[in-house]
Amino acid sequence: MSHEPSSVTLERIDANRWRIPRSGGMRVDGLIFADDTLIAEIRDDPCLEQVRNVAHLPGIVGASLAMPDIHWGYGFPIGGVAAMDGVDGVISPGGVGYDIN
């Protein structure tokens, strides 16, 4: 379980968008939708690391996305969106979660 204190780099894009710039094995950036109020709640949460981790997955397109209600979930954050190439990408049960649908 990766619950170490977050060492994720966050760059502000605008009033409601934050970027985790691509680094290491990340294939795309992380993109988080949050304003100052919500980013303060998320900032030290392990869910940001999860946004970064999802960006490593083969076939991910665009960015590893996080909605403003993001919180920690199994593997993928809850409030996360990840689009994979329909041919070369992967499918992950953790990206859907236990409560299917």
- The binding site for other proteins (CB under 8 A) comprises 1-2, 15-17, 25, 33-35, 37-38, 41, 50, 52-54, 56-59, 61-62, 65, 67-71, 73-101
Report which secondary-structure segment, H or E, holds 35. Answer: none
Q: Is 38 helix (H, G, I), strand (E, B) or coil?
A: helix
Least distance between other proteins and beta carbon 57 (Å)? 6
Cβ atoms < 10 Å from Cβ of 52: 22
Least distance between other proteins and beta carbon 62 (Å)? 7
Q: Is 66 helix (H, G, I), strand (E, B) or coil?
A: strand
Least distance between other proteins and beta carbon 56 (Å)? 5
